[in-house]
Amino acid sequence: MKNVIAATDGKYQLAEGPVWDAPRQRLLWVDIRGGLVLEGTLDGDRITVTQEHRFDEMVSAVAAAEDGTLVVAALQHLVVVHPDGTRTDGPRVIPAGAGRRLNDGGTDPAGRFLVGSLRLDGRSESEVLVRWEQDGRLTPLDKDLTMSNGLAWSADGTLMYSVDTLRRTVFVRDYDVETGGVGERRVHVQLDDGYPDGIVLDAAGQLWVAVYGAGEVHCYTPDGTLSDRLAVPAPHTTSVAFAGPDLHTLVITTATPETDDPRRPATPDSGRLFTVRTAVPGLPVAAWAPPVV
């Protein structure tokens, strides 16, 4: 059994979207309900917060450009945070008053930013996954999701993995990095218990899946066979990312259960970030390439 370590002093309402910014050796993540984008350093198995960017709305994903500029998925639109702290509004993805918000996002191997959506109240089967193109357009890749979530790409960029949480499904499809063309979705992993949330691939092509509600991270072989389970002392595991100079540290984000959840007293570390060392390293994440418009 791998040793999962509570890595942060602070607890978060809904920590999500960890990503390793290699040029600056910093970890980025968000607290969705707290309206926070956080930066931190990784020292061994511990994460220390070095900066917070506060928003007056939910924020659900973040990625960094080569120069340190951030793209942030806010409630219904994208925001660019410049290295000097100033902000510029990006495109609106969801119409105001639609009862929906943005959710998980990430960069494809060409640096284009993708982000999906969820419904705030009740179940939907018309949530989207869109890509912010280099010319500034938004291209929809999916329009029939229940809750768009984690994204990942194979080492050669020819396969894209995406999560539809309420269907308990991880899809895979062919992906053309140069043109942005995508193939038909295929079921890669179908869960029976818990809900797939954030995902990440390692250098061996294994898929790591945070399973919300189960307090676990699952590892799947390239053919979709479950090969390992990591127990996390928090029921709501939300996302995963490889971090550190050697990319051998798996970072796991979690959420704090609601106050009336009977699991809350028994899981006092819920809401923290966790780390665990892995035998196989992760893959580098492409820097965000801001659109040229």
Catalytic residues: 197
Residues annotated as binding site? 16, 101, 103, 121, 149, 197
Residues annotated as binding site for a divalent metal cation? 16, 149, 197
Residues annotated as binding site for substrate? 101, 103, 121
3-state secondary structure of 18: strand
Q: Are the C-beta atoms of 13 and 234 separated by less than 8 Å? A: no
Beta carbons within 10 angstroms of residue 97's beta carbon: 7
Q: Which residues contact 237 (CB under 8 A, 6 or more apart)?
A: 197, 210, 211, 212, 214, 215, 216, 217, 252, 253, 254
The two three-digit tokens of residue 1, written as one number: 């059994």
Torsion of CA 229, 232, 235, 240, to 10 degrees: -80
Please give the Cα distance from 75 to 292 (Å, whole number).
24
Torsion of CA 118, 146, 257, 114, to 10 degrees: -50
Q: b/e map of 108-128 (b: 16 or more CB within 10 Å)?
A: bbbbbbbbbbbbeeeebeebb
Which amino acid is it at 104?
A: D
